[in-house]
Amino acid sequence: MLSEKERFKGRHLLSLHDFSPDEIAYILDLAGELKDRQKKNIPHPYLRGKMLGMIFQKSSTRTRVSFEVAMYQLGGSAMFLNVNDLQLGRGETIADTARVLSRYLDGIMIRTYSHADVEELARHATVPVINGLTDLLHPCQILADLLTVKERKGRLAGLKLAYVGDGNNVCHSLLFGCAKTGMHISVASPEGYKPKEEIVRLAEKDAEQTGSRIEILTSPVEAVSGADVVVTDVWASMGQEVEQSRRVRVFAPYQVNRQLTGHARPDYIFLHCLPAHRGEEVTDEIIDGPHSAVWDEAENRLHVQKAVLALLL
């Protein structure tokens, strides 16, 4: 699989929009191969001696652990860098930080608020920069989602994915991921909480290559009707805690529960990037039920992370 790695080497992963449908398919295929190697205890130390720096302004469970374990299993090492421990927290420019870290590291993963900051880091870094999450996009999560759907359904193209909830970073990257892989996507969000129009326009352009259909709706029932995959996310993301009580009222009709999923296909699967606020965006009987694939989805963060790291570094 790594025979075509030169097309990826040294590139950044800031957005799935920057990768072609064939390239995303290649990443998913490699992730599946590396997952199989791990299950069979076949070593795959493609990054022996490599060091990844991981900058965290937003805390995380899955992102930190999956990237750190991924580097270890690939033969390399990962270094946790809390943004408050860096000179970034004392006024050093992002550009200067990028130049310095590039002299020490083979790659940088950053999980932060501002997408513009990640773009600035990538502009000045001479090593690959990977977007571990921003307020705008969450590409690594959606690669894991796509791998999970592919494993459960055997394909991606032609399936319908319904996203119900806030038009946030997960929603934005799902729009790109579905558009790049030929999946149809229906998004249901309340007025005032829809995905950004600029992201939708870019995704629609991507969809022209694959035949993907994109719908932006307000009705969760309409979005979920006939869906093969149902996805949601928390109603108030990190940094939006002050809006929690208002958002709970606004999003109450968008809860993923047995009544709503009754409109999906009988063999639908449920995905959630986690952490979940049980009883808010999803009920226990759905996230713990027979249609839930969230634990496979969480595990697949590790395998797609390994594929991305092996290719870019």
Q: Which of 73, 135, 178, 273 is catalytic?
A: 273
Contacts of 177 (CB under 8 A, 6+ apart): 16, 24, 139, 142, 143, 145, 146, 183
Q: Which of 12, 17, 138, 184 is catalytic?
A: 138
Distance between CA atoms of residues 123 and 108, nearest Å: 13
Q: Which of 17, 111, 172, 184 is catalytic?
A: 111
pTM of the complete model: 0.96
**pLDDT over 70 (residue 2):** no
- pLDDT tens per residue, range 49-90: 999 999 999 989 999 999 999 999 999 999 999 888 888 757
57 catalytic? Reply is: no
Name the burial class of residue 5, with classes exposed (0-12), middle (13-18) and buried (19+) by CB atoms within 10 angstroms of its CB. Answer: middle
Task: Assign domain 141-298 one CATH number from 3.40.50.1370, 3.40.50.1460, 3.40.50.2300, 3.30.70.100.
Answer: 3.40.50.1370
**pLDDT over 90 (residue 242):** no
Q: Which helix (H) or strand (E) holds 303?
A: helix 294-312
138 catalytic? Reply is: yes
Mean pLDDT calculated for residue range 99-128: 97
**pLDDT for residue 136:** 98
Distance between CA atoms of residues 248 and 263, nearest Å: 23
CB-facing half-sphere around the CA of 60: CA atoms within 13 A: 28
Q: Is the model more confident about 64 or about 238?
A: 64
Of 236, 269, 267, give the one whose Cα is nearest residue 162: 269
Residue 245 binned pLDDT confidence (cut-offs 50, 70, 90): confident
Ranges of CATH 3.40.50.1370 domains, the chain: 4-137+299-312, 141-298
What is the domain class of 4-137+299-312 according to CATH?
Answer: alpha beta
Residue entry with tokens 């000045």? 124
Residue 1 binned pLDDT confidence (cut-offs 50, 70, 90): low
Percent of the chain predicted with pLDDT > 70 = 96
**pLDDT over 70 (residue 3):** no
**pLDDT for residue 282:** 98
145 catalytic? Reply is: no
Q: Which of 57, 141, 255, 305 is catalytic?
A: 141
175, amino acid identity: L
Residue 240 binned pLDDT confidence (cut-offs 50, 70, 90): low
Distance between CA atoms of residues 49 and 209, nearest Å: 39
Q: What is the mean pLDDT of the chain?
A: 95
123 catalytic? Reply is: no
CB-facing half-sphere around the CA of 27: CA atoms within 13 A: 33
User: Which residues contribute to the annotated binding site for carbamoyl phosphate?
Assistant: 60-63, 87, 111, 138-141, 273-274, 301
Cα-based torsion angle of the residue sequence 72, 75, 76, 82 in order, rounded to the nearest 10 degrees: 0
The pairs formed by 243-250 with CB atoms below 8 angstroms and a separation of 24 or more are: 247/166, 248/280, 250/190, 250/192, 250/193
Of 140, 99, 105, 146, give the one whose Cα is nearest residue 121: 99
- pLDDT tens per residue, range 195-219: 999 999 999 999 999 999 999 999 9
141 catalytic? Reply is: yes
178 catalytic? Reply is: no
**pLDDT for residue 4:** 65
User: Which residues contribute to the annotated binding site?
Assistant: 60-63, 87, 111, 138-141, 169, 233, 237-238, 273-274, 301
Percent of the chain predicted with pLDDT > 90 = 90
User: Which residues contribute to the annotated binding site for L-ornithine?
Assistant: 169, 233, 237-238
- pLDDT tens per residue, range 132-161: 999 999 999 999 999 999 999 999 999 999
Mean pLDDT calculated for residue range 249-277: 97
Q: Which of 12, 17, 301, 303 is catalytic?
A: 301
